Amino acid sequence: MGAAAGTALAQHEGGILGSSKRAGSAPVKITDLKCAIIGKNPVVRIVTDQGISGYGQAESAKPYLKPMVEFYKPYLIGTDPTDVGRQMLRLRRLGAFKPWGAALSAIEIALWDVAGQAADLPVHKLLGGKIRDKVLAYGNSENNTPIFSPPSPQVCGELAAKMKEAKEGYKLVKMPVAFHNGPMMKATPNEWFGQQWTGRNSLYMERGQLTQHGFDYIMQCVEAMKKNLGDDIDLALDCGPGWTPKDAIRFARAVEPYHLAWLEDLITGDGEPYTNAQAFKLVTESTSTPIHTGEEVYLREGFKDLIEMQAIDVVGPDPEDVGGIAELKWIAEYADLHHIQVAPHGIFDGLFGVAAQVHLGAVCPQNYIGFEYAKGQPEWWYEIVEGLPDPIVKDGYIDVWDKPGLGVSFNIKAAKARLTDDDRTFFD
């Protein structure tokens, strides 16, 4: 056998992850699974016997996730992290709808980071290769301005103007209204028939039929947003959950002249452990305004009815909740078969989450719109992470990079200074 043929055979036997399984070398093995809360984001580290570490990250809204990540350690120690499909086949049955799928999703992303480094290839190559060289990052007003939820038409307009002038040059922005915006729904009396809840996570418990006054007030807020954004920047609205189907239909029809990108989570969404495909279908079939949901859904099975019933126009899984980036790619491809678009959620996914979204966006089919851009919070995250472009977003897009793995890493010296005493051994 000639030298060239022998090399080709060795590469074939090693597969696309050949550097971890090349002839004469032992497969990579996981020696540890760690989790640290850095700032507010749970960060997963998969440690291997060949000096490669892979990282994944969960939403900053989930600082309680650490023991859930550590639960999976016995399932992973001693196994080959480059067999991502095998690992997730074993583990995915142990997760659930948001927030309980987040630990496994972060682990999946960390596994891909290891696999890419072991193969000396970017993750997007392992996922099938990119079909686009830049990925749209859409802005979320809740992550880009000091005003979390605008309570009035005036503030809505001011916030829209700030988003329009953002340095990222967004082509699409999403803003909260109605039941996804507590201050808006409590700004004036009697906006809906139902209980007003207080306390932690009360935002997602409010639901009911809108009064005429409440409906008109929400419309005034939307009008102010759209007026200040103009026609050059598309607007999506994060609406709920909490609407009755009839109110949702009425609202979707009322905003048709604005040609919105989508209305999100009108019926169910966020932390709810179910979807209601039939109710969404009623709304979707009654309007030309695109209807979007999916950030809370775990695994492809959770999207089956939504997609097969054509119950929505846009699916919005979060890679850090749905089971990871390969799972989301599968969902995007299945949605594409049904002429449904995909726009992944990700507002609090952090800088490693941004990297995962870029690799995912590079390989998704042509139904891909863009992903919800996450910022490093606190600001010192930009001092402890290396490898992201500078600036990250240019004219609304992020250029896809080709560095191995996720292509981002920690400045360990700087990152160690941000660890709490409980996590001081995270990088050891």
**Domain boundaries in the chain?**
14-123+414-423, 126-404
pLDDT of residue 202: 72
Which pLDDT does position 149 carry in this prediction?
Answer: 85
With beta carbons less than 8 A apart as the criterion, state whether 123 and 113 touch.
yes
Residues 6+ away with beta carbon under 8 Å from 394? 168, 169
pLDDT at residue 14 greater than cutoff 90: no
Above pLDDT 90, what percent of the chain?
87
Phi, psi (deg, nearest 5) at residue 394:
-125, 120
What is the DSSP code (8-state) at residue 49? Answer: T
- C-alpha to C-alpha distance for 331 and 324, rounded to whole angstroms: 11
3-state SS track over 343-388: CCCCCCCHHHHHHHHHHHHHHCCCCECCEECCCCCCCCHHHHEECC
Please state, in angstroms and rounded to a whole number, the distance separating the CA atoms of residues 303 and 334.
9
Tokens at 182, concatenated: 């507590």
| Torsion angle in degrees (nearest 10) through CA of 175, 181, 183, 184 | 70
Q: Regarding beta strands 409-410 and 234-238, do their DSSP bridges make them parallel or antiparallel, or are they unpaired?
A: unpaired
State the first-to-last Cα distance of the chain, in angstroms, to the nearest integer.
45
Q: Which residue has the higher pLDDT, 205 or 313?
A: 313
- The position carrying tokens 């290396």 is 386
Rounded distance between C-alpha atoms, residue 103 and residue 100, angstroms: 7
Summarised one tens digit per residue, pLDDT across range 157-173 is 999 999 999 999 999 99
Q: What is the pLDDT of residues 355-413, one digit of tens each?
A: 999 999 999 999 999 999 999 999 999 999 999 999 999 999 999 999 999 999 999 99
Helix and strand counts by DSSP (H, E) for the chain: 18, 16
SS3 178: helix
Alpha-carbon distance 380 to 286, whole Å?
Answer: 46
Type of residue found at 416: K
Q: How confident is the model at residue 24 (pLDDT cuts 50, 70, 90)?
A: very low
pTM for the model: 0.93
What would the pLDDT profile of 312-334 be if each residue is shown by its tens digit?
Answer: 999 999 999 999 999 999 999 99
Q: Which residue has the tokens 């009911």?
A: 208
Cross-strand bridge partners of residue 172: 234
Q: What is the pLDDT of residue 302?
A: 97
Neighbours of 54 (CB within 10 A): 26
| 116 in Cβ contact with 122 (< 8 Å) | yes
C-alpha distances in angstroms, 90 versus 201, 293, 362? 32, 28, 27
Topology (CATH level 3) of domain 126-404: TIM Barrel (3.20.20)
Q: Which fold has domain 14-123+414-423?
A: Enolase-like; domain 1 (3.30.390)
Tokens 């005003």: give the residue: 147
DSSP state of 203: G
Percentage of the residues of the chain whose pLDDT score is greater than 70: 92
What gap in Å lies between CA 19 and CA 11, rounded to an integer? 9
- Confidence at 1, pLDDT banded by 50, 70, 90: very low
- State pLDDT tens for residues 71-80: 999 999 999 9
In the structure, what pLDDT confidence band is assigned to residue 12 with cuts at 50, 70 and 90?
Answer: very low
